[in-house]
């Protein structure tokens, strides 16, 4: 709570800058219109115009807010929450492939991490490649994966989820390997003195100690998964999803549409990452690991 | 059939070799050889499977086909590399990281700004910033300038958050020491806080390398001149010339790991004193 | 205040406000430290001995009373770089060599390059670390690191040396050795030393005066003038005079401290 005032101040400054930038960026078009209509613009008219253009270079925050309301709340009131023009529908499409990819990626990541921790050959063979692959701009493959999977008859949710999975499993592998290895030699020796089996050591020591690491990587994985889903919607001329909204918006110069999709994506990211943060707090608290 | 058997044999051989090597004492040689053998095995198995099952090139070209295409089109690949990696990604990387470090130093003096900007920065760092690409392409045009702008936005916040954290990472005792010397703000900054922040700054720089290339490539999906890695990938996918796509991905992989490796090397030279670097000499 | 008093505290008090109410770290502490003294501060944890030292160094701000260092306020003394401070841990910068660490205060204080070189060489010899100038701190043992941090405090030749349990983290053998070296150094340089410790033998062995402190509120319960000669070999610790002083210190500690926790 101590941070509330500073954070609100910063946010207020951001909004002020946003409004200011909208005036500056949209002014040329406003002057252009005024010139053709043969009127001269006073300052207040200029500001009013720059904050209400149809296709502004930078829409003012309230324009975006109105657009978001029109495509969400308004449509719910009309009972068309899942019509193709509704942002809720597009967010839902992106959300489902994000979640599917996230779950697949997390599963794969944890499995791989367990393999790496327990199998020396796998550790030395695979781990360097996992780390190296993080340095490769994986997203470049996105369009190809979608086309290839389409060619073998897989379409819809799964190709996008594959990209999300690909992006989200790296942080999970790296975090889980670190976490499963976090028990010190003393704790492992302790287990040995009790003659604990490998699976007992895993369930009673290694897995619980890895929880803080797991949640930290899950947050990164979730954010990455969402990016994957959005980018996965770009190249194929997909018609649904927040990425598709971004793309059609950019084709037709619908800046307000782009910004509302962007804000929606940001909200989605914040909610999803926030949910994992909540799960983290509850879990760690029940395990007695939270501070 | 022959090819499939060969593939299985190659896999068995590679795994057996690695099994033997990895159960010998770890040396610099085994640490390098094991992953290399693993990588080569994957490539051989890939080749065998593509040939054995007659997988159409449209789905998955064989490594040899990709290599041939790579060798045949170095001109195009180089041109795309310069356009995307050097002009777009590198320019944006330098501008974005530089601005973030400077802002971090500036807000570091004000606890109020730090408390306000850090949560916002952390929040923004988790957002799908690539999404700003269409807007920036609209603002800065189709050429590399807009790609550099996307990269600036993408690398800025992770870099800011890391640098601010790093600048805070001094022990109370070390700060007291500077106080007993009656050191000025700038002396404390240059002699204590910036050096102490280096591991964090490099962590941010390393994260930013990957983000920079991703940003530059993805931004090209929203419009670009008729060159660039992202442009080539999306148009080649449309023309179903997958071998060129793969060749371009090889370039992206090389550029990405080269970029990352370069930063890691500088890090090693500059933070040799940090426990994380000291371990492996 | 006597003419040769270097540090002078009068009715010094310091109260921290915490969630559990105010904590009186120091209450009405009055003490004069004379030039050339070796004063030890001893007491159980929470008695305010470190806080008192930090007040002298202007790292802590008293809430009552006055303190002067070299006749001026603690803040002015800090600005004039009147003292060298040695912390509990060596706190050397890992990215600087031993020589570079000792050079650090000299760079900050604006000494010329050749003067820096001369002083680094000089203090390294003083603490017996000649030849280690180019090593990094993490390549040295704990005792050597602490010696380097003492050299760092000596480098700019301040008249006062403030030491906060500098040997607390070291094993006893190394500690004996460093105690002996510290005495020789004090003898040669004629500095005024304030030394915080929780070891009775260490305090008695080193000091000309021993200040016994007690907690809740932090205050001085006894000041003992040591009758021991200036020349002190290690085996002085087996003499009856030494044991006599140690006994008085122990009594002072017991009187000021009820073992109720």
Return the pLDDT at C40: 92
B150 touches A: beta carbon within 8 Å: no
B169 touches C: beta carbon within 8 Å: no
Query: What dihedral angle (degrees, nearest 10) is formed by the CA atoms of C124, C127, C131, C137?
Result: -90
Partner-chain contact B58 A253, CB within 8 Å? no
Alpha helices in chain B (DSSP H): 2-22, 28-52, 63-72, 74-81, 91-108, 111-125, 133-140, 144-168, 172-180, 185-188, 194-220, 229-238, 242-270, 275-278
Alpha helices in B84-193 (DSSP H): 91-108, 111-125, 133-140, 144-168, 172-180, 185-188
Return the pLDDT at C2: 47
- Dihedral angle sign, alpha carbons of residues B217, B222, B224, B227: positive
Tokens read off for B157: 């916040």
The reply to whether C47 falls in a domain is yes
Partners of residue C83 on adjacent β-strands: C160
Q: How far is A175 from chain B (nearest CA, A)?
A: 15
Rounded to whole angstroms, the Cα distance separating B212 from B273 reads 28
Rounded to whole angstroms, the Cα distance separating A142 from A236 reads 10
Of B18, B114, B128, the CB nearest to A125: B18
Rounded to whole angstroms, the Cα distance separating B261 from B202 reads 12
Partner-chain contact A227 B128, CB within 8 Å? yes
- CB C193, CB C163: distance < 8 Å: yes
| Percent of chain A predicted with pLDDT > 70 | 93
Report the DSSP pairing between strands C5-18 and C64-69.
Answer: antiparallel
A-proximal residues of B, 45-84, CB under 8 Å? 58-60
For residue A209, the surrounding DSSP H or E stretch is helix A207-232
Better-predicted residue by pLDDT, C153 or C1:
C153
Return the pLDDT at B225: 82
Q: Which of C51, C39, C87, C42 is nearest to C186 (CA)?
A: C39
Say whether pLDDT at A79 is over 80. no
The reply to whether C136 falls in a domain is no
Q: Which residues of chain C does B185 touch, with a Cβ-Cβ cutoff of 8 Å?
A: none
- CB C113, CB B195: distance < 8 Å: no
Return the pLDDT at C230: 80
Mutate to test the interface with C, among B169, B171, B181, B202 (most CBs of C within 10 A): B181
Tokens read off for C143: 């005792």
CATH code, C200: 3.40.50.300
Tens-digit pLDDT profile for residues C193-217: 999 998 888 998 999 999 999 888 8
The reply to whether C110 falls in a domain is no
Rounded to whole angstroms, the Cα distance separating A268 from A95 reads 8
Domain A87-286: top CATH class: mainly alpha
The 10 Å Cβ neighbour count of residue A281 is 12
Q: Which residues of chain C does B274 touch, with a Cβ-Cβ cutoff of 8 Å?
A: 94
- CB C98, CB C155: distance < 8 Å: no
Partners of residue C38 on adjacent β-strands: C193
Q: Which residues of chain B does C109 touch, with a Cβ-Cβ cutoff of 8 Å?
A: 181
The 10 Å Cβ neighbour count of residue C237 is 17
Placement of tokens 């890695």 in the chain:
B229
Partner-chain contact C108 B271, CB within 8 Å? no
Q: Which residues of chain A does B217 touch, with a Cβ-Cβ cutoff of 8 Å?
A: 137, 139-140
CA of C40: how far to CAs of A15, B5, B167, C197, C211, in Å?
Answer: 59, 82, 36, 7, 6
Rounded to whole angstroms, the Cα distance separating C160 from A37 reads 82
Return the pLDDT at C258: 53
Partners of residue C144 on adjacent β-strands: none
Of A10, A14, A231, the CB nearest to B130: A231
Q: Which residues of chain C does B281 touch, with a Cβ-Cβ cutoff of 8 Å?
A: none
Burial of A190 (0-12, 13-18, 19+ CB in 10 A): middle
Return the pLDDT at A291: 52
- Strand ranges in chain C using DSSP code E only, listed in sequence order: 5-18, 21-34, 38-42, 64-69, 72-73, 83-86, 160-164, 192-197, 209-214, 219-225
Chain C residues with CB within 8 Å of chain B CB:
57-59, 78-81, 83-85, 87-89, 91, 93-95, 104-105, 107-109, 136, 138
Return the pLDDT at B94: 94
- CB B85, CB B254: distance < 8 Å: no
Return the pLDDT at A290: 59
Return the pLDDT at A235: 62
Cβ-proximal residues to A241 (8 Å cutoff; 6+ apart), any chain: A90, A93, A94, A97, A160, A229, A230, A233
DSSP C3-58: TTEEEEEEEEEEEEEETTEEEEEEEEEEEEEETT-EEEEE-STTSSHHHHHHHHTT
Partner-chain contact C138 B178, CB within 8 Å? no
* pTM flag (> 0.95): no
DSSP helix/strand/coil, B59: coil
Placement of tokens 């800011």 in the chain:
B160
For chain A, the domains span 4-57, 87-286
Q: How far is B181 from chain C (nearest CA, A)?
A: 6
Q: Which residues of chain B does A243 touch, with a Cβ-Cβ cutoff of 8 Å?
A: 131
Each residue of B247-263: b (16+ CB within 10 Å) or e?
bbbbbbbebbbebbeeb
Question: Rounded to a whole number, what is the largest CA-CA distance in chain A?
Answer: 91
Chains that touch B (3 or more CB pairs under 8 A): A, C
Tens-digit pLDDT profile for residues C124-133: 988 888 889 8
Chain A residue with the nearest C-alpha to that of B28: A124
* Mean pLDDT in order along chain B per 10 residues (281 residues): 82 84 79 84 88 82 88 89 88 94 87 81 77 83 87 89 85 86 88 88 87 86 82 83 86 87 88 70 39
Partners of residue A34 on adjacent β-strands: none
Q: Backbone dihedral region of B240: left (phi > 0), alpha (psi from -120 to 50 degrees) or beta? A: left
Partners of residue C197 on adjacent β-strands: C42
Q: Please give the mean pLDDT across all residues of chain A.
A: 81
Return the pLDDT at B93: 94
Say whether pLDDT at C260 is over 70. no
- CB B84, CB B217: distance < 8 Å: yes
Domain span at residue C218 reads 1-65+181-261
Q: Is the peptide bond before C217 cis (omega within 30 degrees of 0)?
A: yes
Return the pLDDT at C261: 42
Rounded to whole angstroms, the Cα distance separating C143 from A90 reads 66
Rounded to whole angstroms, the Cα distance separating A269 from A275 reads 10
The reply to whether C221 falls in a domain is yes
Tens-digit pLDDT profile for residues C220-259: 888 888 888 888 888 888 888 888 889 888 888 887 655 4
Tens-digit pLDDT profile for residues A21-62: 888 888 887 778 778 877 777 777 777 777 877 778 788 888
pLDDT tier for residue A238 given thresholds of 50, 70 and 90: low
Placement of tokens 């940090």 in the chain:
B274
Domains held by chain C: number: 1
Of A9, A124, A262, the CB nearest to B131: A262
Cβ-proximal residues to A79 (8 Å cutoff; 6+ apart), any chain: none
Q: Which of A132, A142, A150 is nearest to A167 (CA)?
A: A142
The 10 Å Cβ neighbour count of residue B51 is 16
User: What's the whole-number mean pLDDT along residues A198-206?
Assistant: 84
Rounded to whole angstroms, the Cα distance separating B148 from B89 reads 6
Placement of tokens 């909610």 in the chain:
A271
Tens-digit pLDDT profile for residues C36-83: 899 999 988 888 888 899 999 888 888 888 898 888 888 888 888 888
What is chain A's length? 291
Q: Which phi and psi angles does B85 have, rounded to 5°? A: -80, -45
Say whether pLDDT at A165 is over 60. yes
Q: How far is A79 from chain B (nearest CA, A)?
A: 29
Tens-digit pLDDT profile for residues A82-133: 677 778 888 888 899 899 999 999 999 999 899 888 888 888 778 778 777 7
Rounded to whole angstroms, the Cα distance separating C3 from C1 reads 7
| Angle, in degrees to the nearest 10, between helices C113-126 and C98-108 | 130
- CB C65, CB C28: distance < 8 Å: yes
Q: Backbone dihedral region of B147: left (phi > 0), alpha (psi from -120 to 50 degrees) or beta? A: alpha
DSSP helix/strand/coil, C210: strand
């Amino acid at each position: 709570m101590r941070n509330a005032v500073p954070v609100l101040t910063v946010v207020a400054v951001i909004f002020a800058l946003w409004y200011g930038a909208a005036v500056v960026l949209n002014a040329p078009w406003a002057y252009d219109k005024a010139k053709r209509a043969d009127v001269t613009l006073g300052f207040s008219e200029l500001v009013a115009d720059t904050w209400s253009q149809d296709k502004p270079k930078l829409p003012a925050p309230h324009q975006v807010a109105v657009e978001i309301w029109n495509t969400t709340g308004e449509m719910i009131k009309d009972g068309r929450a899942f019509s193709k023009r509704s942002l809720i529908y597009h967010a839902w499409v992106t959300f489902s492939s994000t979640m599917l990819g996230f779950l697949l990626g997390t599963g794969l990541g944890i499995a791989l991490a367990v393999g790496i921790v327990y199998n020396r050959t796998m550790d030395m063979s695979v781990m360097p490649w996992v780390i190296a692959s993080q340095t490769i701009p994986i997203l470049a493959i996105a369009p190809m994966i979608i086309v290839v999977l389409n060619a073998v008859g897989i379409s819809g949710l799964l190709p996008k989820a594959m990209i999300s999975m690909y992006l989200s499993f790296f942080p999970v592998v790296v975090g889980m390997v670190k976490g499963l290895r976090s028990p010190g030699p003393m704790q492992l020796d302790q287990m040995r003195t009790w003659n604990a089996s490998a699976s007992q050591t895993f369930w009673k020591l290694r897995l619980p100690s890895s929880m803080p690491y797991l949640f930290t990587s899950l947050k990164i994985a979730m954010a990455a998964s969402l990016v994957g889903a959005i980018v996965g919607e770009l190249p194929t001329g997909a018609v649904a999803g927040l990425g598709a909204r971004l793309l059609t918006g950019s084709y037709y110069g619908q800046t307000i549409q782009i910004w509302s999709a962007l804000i929606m994506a940001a909200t989605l990211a914040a909610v999803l990452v926030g949910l994992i943060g909540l799960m983290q707090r509850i879990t760690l608290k029940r395990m007695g690991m939270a501070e | 059939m022959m090819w499939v058997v060969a593939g299985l044999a190659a896999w068995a051989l590679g795994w057996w070799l690695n099994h033997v090597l990895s159960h010998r004492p770890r040396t610099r040689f085994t640490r390098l050889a094991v992953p290399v053998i693993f990588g080569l095995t994957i490539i051989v198995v890939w080749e065998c499977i593509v040939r054995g099952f007659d997988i159409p090139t449209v789905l998955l070209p064989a490594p040899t086909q990709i290599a041939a295409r790579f060798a045949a089109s170095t001109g195009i690949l180089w041109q795309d590399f310069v356009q995307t990696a050097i002009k777009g990604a590198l320019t944006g990387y330098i501008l974005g990281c530089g601005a973030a470090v400077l802002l971090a130093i500036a807000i570091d003096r004000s606890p109020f700004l730090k408390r306000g900007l850090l949560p916002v920065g952390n929040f923004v760092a988790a957002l799908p910033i690539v999404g700003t690409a269409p807007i920036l392409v609209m603002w800065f045009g189709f050429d590399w300038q807009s790609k550099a702008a996307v990269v600036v936005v993408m690398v800025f916040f992770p870099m800011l958050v890391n640098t601010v954290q790093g600048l805070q990472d001094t022990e109370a005792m070390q700060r007291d020491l500077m106080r007993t010397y009656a050191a000025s703000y700038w002396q404390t900054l240059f002699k204590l806080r910036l050096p102490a922040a280096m591991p964090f700054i490099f962590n941010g720089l390393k994260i930013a390398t990957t983000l920079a290339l991703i940003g530059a490539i993805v931004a090209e999906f929203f419009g670009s001149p008729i060159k660039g890695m992202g442009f080539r990938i999306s148009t080649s996918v449309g023309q179903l010339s997958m071998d060129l796509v793969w060749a371009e991905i090889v370039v992206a992989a090389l550029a990405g790991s080269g970029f990352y490796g370069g930063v890691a090397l500088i890090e090693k030279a500059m933070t040799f004193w940090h426990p994380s670097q000291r371990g492996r000499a | 205040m006597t003419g040769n008093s270097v540090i002078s505290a009068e009715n010094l008090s310091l109260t921290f406000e915490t969630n559990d109410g105010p904590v009186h770290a120091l209450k009405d502490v009055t003490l004069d430290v004379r030039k050339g003294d070796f004063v030890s501060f001893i007491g159980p944890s929470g008695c305010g001995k470190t806080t008192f030292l930090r007040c002298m160094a202007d790292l802590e701000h008293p809430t009552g009373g006055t303190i002067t260092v070299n006749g001026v306020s603690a803040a002015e003394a800090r600005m004039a770089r009147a003292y060298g401070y040695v912390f509990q841990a060596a706190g050397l910068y890992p990215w600087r060599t031993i020589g570079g660490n000792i050079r650090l205060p000299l760079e900050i204080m604006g000494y010329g390059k050749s003067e820096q070189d001369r002083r680094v060489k000089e203090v390294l010899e003083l603490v017996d670390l000649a030849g280690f100038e180019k090593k990094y701190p993490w390549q040295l043992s704990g005792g050597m690191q602490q010696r380097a941090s003492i050299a760092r405090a000596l480098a700019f030749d301040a008249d006062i040396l403030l030491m906060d349990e500098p040997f607390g983290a070291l094993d006893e053998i190394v500690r004996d050795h460093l105690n002996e070296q510290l005495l020789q150094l004090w003898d040669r340089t004629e500095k005024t030393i304030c030394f915080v410790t929780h070891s009775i033998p260490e305090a008695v062995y080193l000091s000309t005066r021993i200040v016994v402190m007690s907690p809740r509120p932090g205050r001085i319960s006894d000041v003992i003038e040591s009758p021991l000669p200036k020349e002190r070999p290690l085996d002085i610790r087996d003499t009856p005079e030494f044991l006599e002083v140690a006994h008085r210190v122990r009594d002072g500690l017991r009187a000021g401290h009820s073992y109720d926790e």
